[in-house]
Structure 1
């Protein structure tokens, strides 16, 4: 059995180290979800024009904030914004075709 000596001088097995790593990664994920949810909650304070400037609608926010306080739907909010931006992109006329119409 492989053992590791920790800073406190106690012996731990590799399985215990992996167990703590899993606990820490879940705790970090929980903190990230909480931070993202707080950021989305702060978007509710913006008016319609400010939301439109960043490409978000009230419906997008409602959809992203559904669920409990530990759920993170910020990825869905990002996808909604990206879809809306792709639909709003229009091709501009090329410079050469604009010059031909001026003649």
Structure 2
């Protein structure tokens, strides 16, 4: 019984210590990801408050981000998922984005 309990504990410790999300193949550094998050927030604000401006200028927020950073949706989602797996880092990134938005106000 002790051996089984020890084995279960070892398995739990080993499985919990690994990062569940592997680093994406097309990895975006933290600064680039932060810039993308900032641009997404600005575009979401623009589309909520003045959607006619985006329509007038023929800007699709998602396409704009993908073209600006030369990425595709899969790259964005994989990197977003990777950074979100580390809650502390992700929260810190969002905090810096919010500070930039406040300064831009």
* TM-score bucket of the superposed structures, by smaller chain: under 0.3
Q: Which structure's residues are more often strand, by fraction?
A: 1
- With normalisation by structure 2, the TM-score equals 0.26
Which of 1 and 2 has higher RCO (CA within 8 Å, sep 6+)?
2
- With normalisation by structure 1, the TM-score equals 0.26
